Amino acid sequence: METRPLILLLEDHCGSAEAMQIVLRDWGADVVHGADADDVASTAGANTSRATIIITDFHLTDTDGVSAAKQLRKRAPRAQVLVLSGSLNNDAKRAAKSAGYTFMHKPAPPRDLIAWLERNNALVD
């Protein structure tokens, strides 16, 4: 039996989180969502280590998404990271690039998100 990819989703805006989860589940992934890294790791538990993708908003309530992704990657070192931001300044883009993560503006069109998932999930198969 083929294992579905596990995506860790960090998003503190309910509407954005719900929309993203629909796209990700329709793509064929299991999704663990939380408002921050501790929330996601707690919910995923031992499964955190099998995550292949981390998707995070840059502007989270208590931290930035790059820092949160770094925290999660300690437990999911194979995970590819996508940082999303609706901000028009380049802070999020610079921080993501500096960490070696991919950056995409929000709202990310589902086709762009799926194309990124297809490319990056293949890297960890």
- Decide if pLDDT at 123 tops 90: no
- Compute the distance between CA of residue 28 and CA of residue 69 in angstroms, rounded to an integer: 22
Residue 33 backbone dihedrals phi, psi, to 5 degrees = -110, 145
Give the closest residue to 55 by CA, choosing from 46, 42, 66.
66
Which pLDDT tens digit goes with each residue over 33-60? 999 999 999 999 999 999 999 999 999 9
pLDDT (average), residues 104-120: 93
**Where are the domains positioned within the chain?**
6-121
Q: What is the pLDDT of residues 72-94, one digit of tens each?
A: 999 999 999 999 999 888 999 99
Q: d(Cα 62, Cα 124) in Å, to the nearest integer?
A: 30
pTM as predicted: 0.94
CATH architecture of 6-121: 3-Layer(aba) Sandwich (3.40)
